[in-house]
Structure 1
Amino acid sequence: MNTMMKNQNNTINSDIEAKKLLNFSIKFSYSLLYNGAEVYRVEDSINRICKSFQNIKAVNAFALSNMVMISFVYNETNYTSMRRINDTAKNLEKISLLNDLSRSIVSGKVNLDDGFKELKNIKNKSSYSNFTKISLVTLSAPFLAFIFGGTIGDFFPACLAMFVEMLILVYIEKSGLPLFLTTFLSASGVSLFVMTMSKIVSIANLSSIMIASIVPLFPGIQITNAMRDILSGDILSGIIGIMSAIFTAVSIAIGVVLVLRIFG
């Protein structure tokens, strides 16, 4: 059966249930955007969830990278809600779990009450610990350095630089600073460490270590999502994403260049 068709198990019988559906939809879309989902995925998921319920008409979902608005009509009454997203994270596992949840609701396997519980479980699902993140990213550093022209002699300097960069990033993220300032401080901090380390020990490929250490700061997922939004017809959201990625890249560049100018 087409998932866009009304499912007999999904029925709205009162204004309270309509408000519950609206509340669930706005929380669901917020979770998708917060974890880095594309705009078209958010709009499509909400449309499918709401249209699967009996007596729900005129469903509209409008999302940008930092906000979402949902409206539908039940019993000749219009229900509308909007939520702004002030912060984001990148968690593809949670996006996959949310996608599975939406399919279960559309098919009638999960009702709204259970949907709220599952949504809370997904939200509270623990991610990788800071220790695991720092360890794995640190181990990736020398291989990134090899890609950018490094040699086996750059193995330990690259690991050390990446380790310091991740410590700085984790510490700054806890302070709740704006994204661009966080990126600037992280880039300048690791650049300062690498340049200082180069004065103490001999580093054959300084540029490869410098580039490898700032790769985690690069907004790759953001650029990918922005291009997919543009190709899907969400021009405004795509432009916002690209501009945000450009400002992030500029923050990285300024942080690195300032330190390089200090060291001559």
Structure 2
Amino acid sequence: MGRSLQRKMNVSCELSGEEQREILDAAMQAGHILLENGAEIFRVEETIDRICHYYGIESGNAFVLSNGIFITSGNEREEIFAKVQHIPVSGVHLNRVAAVNQLSREIVEGRYTIGEVRERLDEIRVMPGKTKTMQILASGVGSACFCMLFGGNFMDSAAAFVSGVLLYFYVLYISGPHLSKIVGNIGGGALVTFLCSVMYLLSVGQHLNFMIIGSIMPLVPGVAFTNAIRDIADGDYISGSVRMLDALLVFFCIAMGVGLVFSLFRGLTGGVML
């Protein structure tokens, strides 16, 4: 611990302008990975500050929003630095968030030079997520389990499993690559409702409401909604409001897709299903 502290003091006194920029770029990259993959605002700011302070940047200051990071530094002993990065609101990859968190702890323990930190961050950025096969199966199993949790029976859960599997085929191969977020979520809600309604009419399941509720769950942005509440609770009202609006938009689009298909089937069946 004493050697780590001495090293930190020496770095603080000997930093060149190029070294300062490298440290701040690494801090920005770590924050970018966290924010891009679903981390909370306070976690991003804390990680940036931790990296800057450990490597001797005393005047570093980070301002983080839900889709952007602003970093500045500079005083009488440090060169002036300012950088802004835009980070679009995207999906959640908690394995990358966990990897950056672990890296920040190891940095404070003195395990990495700043060059090694940059290399490790590059590795984390390209860290593969779950395979498509696993995501599809997880969607099916999750849909079946939620259906059972909400009160469905075995046949309802089996129908929800099939619907959840087909839903994630749609998400991975049609909605994600080719459709906007709004259209994709409307289509996802409509697809789930259509599949469950057809299976219900074929007597595959007995409780249409539980089948649809369970099958829709893979589309629900639970992490984004939870992070929005946490950001608002931490006083990050702008970022929390943006994330909350994004989550509510998804809820609205799913409900619109469900309502469109219900209206269609009501017209075709004369309201028998409902």
TM-score (norm 1): 0.91
Residue 67 (structure 2) aligns with: 66
Per-residue Cα deviation, 1:32-71 (whole angstroms, up to 9, x for no partner):
01110000100111111112222x2322111111111111
Residue 149 (structure 1) aligns with: 151
Of 47, 50, 53, which residue of structure 1 is paired with 2:52?
50
Q: Percent identity?
A: 29
Counterparts of 2:5 and 2:72, CA distance in 1: 17
Counterparts of 2:157 and 2:218, CA distance in 1: 17
Residue 112 (structure 1) aligns with: 114
Question: Given the alignment of the two structures, is residue 32 of structure 1 paired with residue 51 of structure 2, yes or no?
Answer: no
Gaps of at least 5 residues in structure 1 are none
Conserved 8 A contact 1:22-1:80: no
Change (3 A) 1:10 1:61: same
Counterparts of 1:168 and 1:200, CA distance in 2: 22
Residue 178 (structure 1) aligns with: 180
1:76-91 superposed matches below 5 A: 76-91=78-93
Deviates more, 1:226-235 or 1:29-38: 226-235
Counterparts of 2:135 and 2:243, CA distance in 1: 25
Conserved 8 A contact 2:156-2:204: no
Query: How big is the shift at 1:208?
Result: 0.4
Change (3 A) 1:70 1:6: farther
Conserved 8 A contact 2:17-2:78: no
1:197-216 superposed matches below 5 A: 197-216=199-218
Per-residue Cα deviation, 1:87-135 (whole angstroms, up to 9, x for no partner):
4221222111101111222332211110111111112222210001111
SS at match of 2:80: strand
Change (3 A) 1:169 1:241: same
Gaps of at least 5 residues in structure 2 are 267-274
Per-residue Cα deviation, 1:114-170 (whole angstroms, up to 9, x for no partner):
011111111222221000111122123222111222012223212111111111111
Equivalent position amino acid for 1:59 in 2: G
Residue 237 (structure 1) aligns with: 239
SS at match of 2:60: strand
Conserved 8 A contact 2:190-2:258: yes
Counterparts of 1:61 and 1:223, CA distance in 2: 24
Question: Given the alignment of the two structures, is residue 8 of structure 1 paired with residue 41 of structure 2, yes or no?
Answer: no
Counterparts of 2:175 and 2:104, CA distance in 1: 31
Question: Structure 1 or 2: larger helix share?
Answer: 2
Residue 263 (structure 1) aligns with: 265
Conserved 8 A contact 2:143-2:217: no
Counterparts of 1:207 and 1:118, CA distance in 2: 47
Query: How big is the shift at 1:176?
Result: 5.1
Counterparts of 2:195 and 2:5, CA distance in 1: 55
Per-residue Cα deviation, 1:170-193 (whole angstroms, up to 9, x for no partner):
113441533233222211122222
